[in-house]
Amino acid sequence: MNAISTIAPEAHTTPAISAQPDAKAWDKAMLKFRIAERAYLNCAASEPLNEDLADQLCDIESDARWELIGMPAPDRPALLWKLEYLFQGSNGSLDPYNLEHLAQTIADCRRLLGEA
């Protein structure tokens, strides 16, 4: 196993919707994301740019981010993080995301904010 595969050993998959948040699992996944994000940003800023490594690290960062999006948010700050990401990357539109990707976040809203 190389350094890259230890950051994100599994492939991106869309998990089933879960209503049971696990704060420890969220914290672990957030740490994994932050490490992957920092590795990608450091690589992307390096001269000369290693495009193959940058592509791999970008994929790992993306997989780690979507792992968080697919997890139940354990609290309101986690829900806010998810919503900010979803709107930030799409110029304020949810069109680029399919409902499968948004289903867990919608379930989080219902659980943490109460049914409207």
pLDDT score of 11 = 41
Return the higher-pLDDT residue of 114 and 22. 22
pLDDT score of 104 = 87
> In this predicted model, what pLDDT tens digit does every residue of 93-115 receive, in sequence order?
666 677 777 888 888 999 899 86
- Quick check: 108 and 54 in contact, CB under 8 A? no
Place of tokens 């998990």: 15
Cβ neighbors of 71 (< 8 A, separation 6 or more) are 15, 18, 21, 22, 25, 26, 29, 104
> In this predicted model, what pLDDT tens digit does every residue of 68-86 receive, in sequence order?
998 999 999 999 999 888 8
